[in-house]
Structure 1
Amino acid sequence: MDDHHLLDEVALATYEYVLRVGSCGDEEAADHLGVDVHLVTEARKQLQNLRLLASAGGDRAAVALDPEIAEAELVTPLELSIAQRRREISGIHQQLRVLSEMYRSRAQPVAEDVPIRILDDYEDVRREIDLARRRCTEERITLQPGGGRSAELLEQDLLQTLEMRERGIRVRILYQHTAQASLATRAYVRQVVEAGAEVRVAEELSERLIVYDRKNAFIPKERKGKEPPGAALVTDPTVVAYLCRSFESVWQGSTPFDIGGVAEYPHTEDLRISVIRLMAMGLKDEVIARRLGMATRTCRRHISAVMADVGATSRFQAGILLARQGLIPDGEGVAGS
């Protein structure tokens, strides 16, 4: 069987009654238990699938079987299958170990001598990340700017993150506040947090960053088009240490990811101040949205809310009023069209 469910109350009561009376039909058991006959019929089928009941002849009559025999009958094929899988895994390890030693003796030392390797192809990036993850023994830290991620990417990362947690590896992830509006991201975070991962949010993050064991850092290249970008694999100790210090600085000022409540863009005072500060820098709506990890339309709503709060009808007027309130340096107006 591919799927074994725990027995419900009706199934347990049905088994107990059949065991007590010797054999019975569905209607007799339903009358005794005081439930609809279709519930007993479903319970009987469930018990028969688990080898706990067998047909005794007649109109759907059934007799109880020994659970220990049923257990052996169900578990033995699974144990044999597991043993076969383990033999296959062992065979793969043995065959590839020879090739791995050959590869490391020739190609790997050359690669490790290079402090920064540029990986132009996304598949090369994925393979290097998989290798770093398998070799990781202590910690993985991740900066994840922007809003929520796609369900497909989250599903892939979930399995990898849970596997790392099972090995006792510390996992820390930093998102932007706006990622809390993504239902898929919230579901992912809820599962990894339950497994012991640490997930926080901050207003602004730099480009995406992944670091394994404070030795291997992956920095993505600029995306061009829809294809996934390549990345730089950094192993230079000084550069990796700097990236880790930058992560720690942001981590200390971050807050836990809110997996409760309603999935929506957070309207916090920190976010409002960030919007004002970026407006004061004269950035366009699209740039502000990208910096804050939200859609341009959503960003414009926040900008409109800021202007409405101060009673401004234009960005120029908003700059003057915000400067008077001390929210931006005096004279540093908000550029706008």
Structure 2
Amino acid sequence: MSYDGAATSGKRRTSSEGGRVESQPLLDELAVDAYRSALRTGVFIDEEIAAELGEDRARIAEVREALQDLRLLSPGSGGAAVPLDPEVVEVELIAPLEMSVARQRRQIAGIHRQLNTLSTLYRSVERHHGADVSIRVLDNAAEVRREIDLARHRCVKERMSLQPGGGRSAPLLQQDLVQTQELLRRGVRVRTLYQHTARSSLTTRSYVAQICEAGAEVRTSAELSERLIVYDRHTAFVPKERKGSAPPGAAVVTDPTLVAYLCRSFETAWQVGRPFTSTEPADQQQVSAELRSSILRLMAMGLKDEVIARRLGMAARTCRRYISALMTELGATSRFQAGVLIGRQAVEGGTDGGPGGVPADEEIAVHK
């Protein structure tokens, strides 16, 4: 019998891929077979083990050294190494790890005790100074992030969010992936609504596939009014108007009436959304039809290409391709004429069933 690879050293190695940390095996198949052979004879002799397993003596010498490093063989040369009890090795390997875990648990408990005391003090002073109001406006993006982290940490039932603007950046999604998976592990229901144009982003599709596999629910809609995050139907985050490229601040809303209104608005948008991960042709056709209908309606309102693109979360160049295709189908030679034709169709009740859809190779082009 022939084997590939070498015996694994007694030192444990770990590798991280896709957020998972996996321990390498202590020994490979050849080392296990060699140890088994030594147990039958009561001694590990390189020449005999190599002959029995059909392996080169140099390879068996490497195996012996690996077994000796793990204290599964007595020290010494290849002439008379004796197999030792694996339970002793197990104790030697696990004991330091268990001590480390116990030490870290004590540190975590100490942090909880100290910070819980300070948190109680902070909340009492906050209430005393009247800071515990139903609407707080935070101008600093870092403060907003801290408040969102706190709300997420306290969340026990549900997080719902509206995420307009098409596909999102890879670093942002990677950070949110870890946080969302942590919520799902705690049994929190997670629902997110994107715009249809987010479907064209490979990064966003990969992120959605991972969180949906873990239990999240994601849908898309042609238009979304604003970004919104609500935790436990108790705390809502509404962004301030963006000015320039800097991240905007946000209003933290805890007023029950306002939060309930925001939740109803979310539910209304959620009910008409299309499942992000659906591969049904009917759903794909409906997404394309809704996007096309929104472009027609916004064109009829006289909005510029850039405004339409921003409303639908797509690149301006992509939006112009849509509009050019629609004008060709309408038989219009100008935006003005297109607006007249669209208005006429609306009066006749034919807006939704007007000209055919955008060609398939133009559907929902990449946001970035």
TM-score normalised by structure 1 residue count: 0.81
Quick one: structure 1 residues 274 and 31, their matched pair in 2 at CA, closer, same or farther if it must change by over 3 Å?
Answer: farther
Aligned-residue offset at 1:45: 10
Aligned mates of 1:145, 1:116 — CA distance in 2: 23
- CA separation in 2, counterparts of 1:314 and 1:57? 91
> Closer, same or farther in 2 for the Cα pair 1:63/1:253, shift >3 Å?
farther
In 1, the alpha carbon distance for the partners of 2:161 and 2:271 equals 14
Uncovered stretches (5+) of structure 2, i.e. residues with no partner = 1-11, 15-21, 352-368
Which of 254, 268, 278 pairs up with 1:249?
Answer: 268
* Residue number in structure 2 paired with 1:310: 330
Corresponding residue for 2:253?
234
Cα 1:281–1:91 shift into 2, 3 Å: same
Deviation digits for residues 17-62 of structure 1 (CA, Å, limit 9, x no counterpart): 4421554669x7699468x999x79x95996699386697668x99
What is the CA deviation profile of residues 249-272 of structure 1, one whole-angstrom value per residue up to 9, with x for unaligned ones? 0101111112879xx9x9712111
Decide whether the 8 Å contact of 1:180 with 1:257 is kept in 2.
yes
SS in structure 2 of the partner of residue 299 of structure 1: helix
Distance 1:303 1:232 in 2: 36
Q: Does 1:15 align with 2:32?
A: yes
Structure 2 CA distance for partners of 1:37 and 1:130, relative to 1, 3 Å: farther
Cα distance in 2 for partners of 1:56, 1:182 equals 59
1:144–1:174 Cα contact (<8 Å) kept: yes
- For 2:300, which of 264, 280, 291 is the aligned residue? 280
Q: Kindly provide the amino acid, as one letter, of the partner of residue 302 in structure 1.
A: Y
Q: Deviations over 1:57-90 (max 9, x none)?
A: 668x998665434433332222211111111111
The number of residue pairs the alignment matches comes to: 323
Q: Which residue of 1 aligns with 2:92?
A: 73
RMSD: 3.7
Task: Output the amino acid matched with 2:323.
Answer: I
Check whether the contact 2:31–2:67 (CA below 8 A) recurs between aligned residues: no
Does 2:165 align with 1:146?
Answer: yes
Partner Cα distance (2:297, 2:65) in 1: 63
In the superposition, relative to structure 1, how do residues 321 and 241 fare at CA in structure 2: closer, same or farther (>3 Å)?
Answer: same
2:139 is matched by which residue type in structure 1?
Answer: D
Q: Highest Rg: 1 or 2?
A: 2
Give the aligned residue type for 1:196. Answer: G
Aligned identity (percent) is: 56
TM-score by structure 2 length? 0.75
Q: How does 1:100-111 map to 2 (within 5 A)?
A: 100-108=119-127, 110-111=130-131
Among candidates 225, 241, 245, match of residue 206 of structure 1: 225
Kindly indicate whether the alpha-carbon contact (under 8 Å) linking 1:51 and 1:65 is maintained by their aligned counterparts in 2. no
Matches within 5 A, 1:140-219: 140-219=159-238
Of 300, 305, 313, the residue aligned with 1:293 is 313
Change (3 A) 1:58 1:291: same
Match among 224, 249, 273 for residue 243 of structure 2:
224
Match of 1:128 in 2: 147
